[in-house]
Amino acid sequence: EVQLVESGGGLVQPGGSLRLSCTASGFNFSSYWMTWVRQAPGKGLEWVADIKEDGSEELYVDPVKGRFTISRDNAQKSLYLQMNSLRAEDTAVYYCARDSNVIGLDIWGQGTMVTVSS
């Protein structure tokens, strides 16, 4: 079964750090761009970051540039999001998704909740 499972969410204080993980199964992970999308409580979807198949290119939405880092380990079929200098406005459910190029984000994980609060 093609599946993505996120982990690593939780409660963190403003200014703190958190590392999210996403483990893939059922497909050739190293053949796809991978994406993080977030959704603040009661709000819409916001694209956060993308990483190329081999990790050689990363793209970020402006509000997280310089604070978040997307990475991957193809041998472990895992995607990561290192989040530093967290702010209250980063509070959201974070989803990882498979980016099937022109097909779009065709596989999504169940999401992991990140709460930034003192």
Residues of this chain that bind other proteins (CB under 8 A)? 35, 37, 44-47, 50, 59, 61-62, 95, 102-106, 108-111
Find the farthest-apart pair of alpha carbons in the chain and give their distance in angstroms, rounded.
Answer: 41
CB of 86 to other proteins, least distance (A): 20
What is the radius of gyration, based on Cα positions, of the chain?
Answer: 13
Of 14 and 26, which CB lies nearer to other proteins in the complex structure? 26
- Nearer to other proteins by Cβ, of 39 and 82: the residue is 39
On whether the CB atoms of residues 87 and 14 are closer than 8 A, the answer is: yes
- The encoded tokens of residue 69 equal 């880092």
Name the minimum Å distance from CB 74 to other proteins: 22
